[in-house]
Amino acid sequence: MSAALSMAAAGGLAAGEHGLAAGPMRAAVRAAAGGRIAAVWREEPKGRRTHLLQPLPPGDFDPAAWPKGGCYPLVPWSNRIRDGRFTFRGRSVDLGYPDSLPHGLHGFAQRAAWEVTATTAATLTMVHRHAAVAGWPWPFRATQRVLLDGAGVTLEIAVTNTGNEPMPAGLGVHPYFACEAGDRLRLTAGILWDRDADLCGTAARPLDAAAARHDEALGADETIYLAGFEGVASIARRDGSRIVMETGAPFDHLVLHVPAGAPYACVEPVTHVADAFNLDAAGVAGSGFRVLEPGETLAGVVRMGLA
């Protein structure tokens, strides 16, 4: 029996989910729901589960009002674009997306149905192809490869400019790690981005060595933009388990989003700060803004596991 069928028989999968299994680890992927990893967990004795991600609720949802769970791709930009508009090489672009009005939020690939192109018991590859439209006049191809092993999941994510002209681009991963107030987050990042009331980045401030070592108990309501991320973040949970996220270039920016009282923390590795497209156009350095030439690819790898 395949992993997907055996998990479904055991009540581990919702409708439309693809199941992965490796040792004690399990994952559910909902490609048609924005290319999301719906859940990752470890099977424990007596039917218990230790969740890596806050599970995505079952059932359909409005793509413009996505539920808070799982992990989804940030393509072809991360976080906000102020007022949903920017100018690139003389071309004015109006994204036309209603999310987080008046700003464009989190790209739009996580609102699209992705196509599953390959699967094994422990891996899944999915693709989203974007044709040029008024709201984003550059065609691209985005891919995600999900690889489950006995301790966690590795996500390989990429976006390729499939058009004939340069394209502005960003990339990121948005996990909802299963944790709660009192669990302890640790990471190192040497730059803090100031932001305004609209949660758009404004200016970067270098941190001294002590301030760059972030070590805090979760619980406060906060949204923080960091850069110079050294690539490892961990959450020590009070149940004795530990979440570890590891990445590298090009994910040297990080978004930390922790709503007060929520059963999750978002620790998002990204390639640029919020509103990087407009910051770069205004001459602000260090935003992480990138341009992909025709045929060029921006790619990264994120590892998320339980220790």
Q: What percent of the chain has pLDDT over 70?
A: 94
pLDDT tops 60 at residue 3: no
Mean pLDDT of the chain: 93
Domain ranges of the chain: 3-306
What number is the average pLDDT over the span 147-167? 98
Question: Token pair of 115, please?
Answer: 């196509």
Amino acid at 168: P
Q: What is the pLDDT of residues 85-133, one digit of tens each?
A: 999 999 999 998 655 567 888 998 999 999 999 999 999 999 999 999 9
pLDDT tier at 9 (50, 70, 90 boundaries)? very low
> Other C-beta atoms within 10 Å of 266: how many?
18
The pTM for the full model equals 0.94
Residue bearing tokens 């008024």: 134
At residue 275, the 3 state secondary structure works out as coil
At 83, phi and psi to the nearest 5? Answer: 60, 15
Residue 255 β-bridge partners: 225, 268
Distance CA 242, CA 21 (A): 20
Report the CATH fold assignment for 3-306: Beta-galactosidase; Chain A, domain 5 (2.70.98)
Distance CA 177, CA 263 (A): 8
| Confidence at residue 2, expressed as pLDDT on a 0 to 100 scale | 36
Q: What does the DSSP assignment read for 216-278?
A: EES-S-EEEEEEEEEEEEEEE-TTS-EEEEEE-TT--EEEEEE-TT-SEEEEEEESS-TTHHH
- 274 DSSP 8-state letter: T
Q: What is the pLDDT of residues 219-262, one digit of tens each?
A: 999 999 999 999 999 999 999 999 999 999 999 999 999 999 99
Q: What percent of the chain has pLDDT over 90?
A: 87
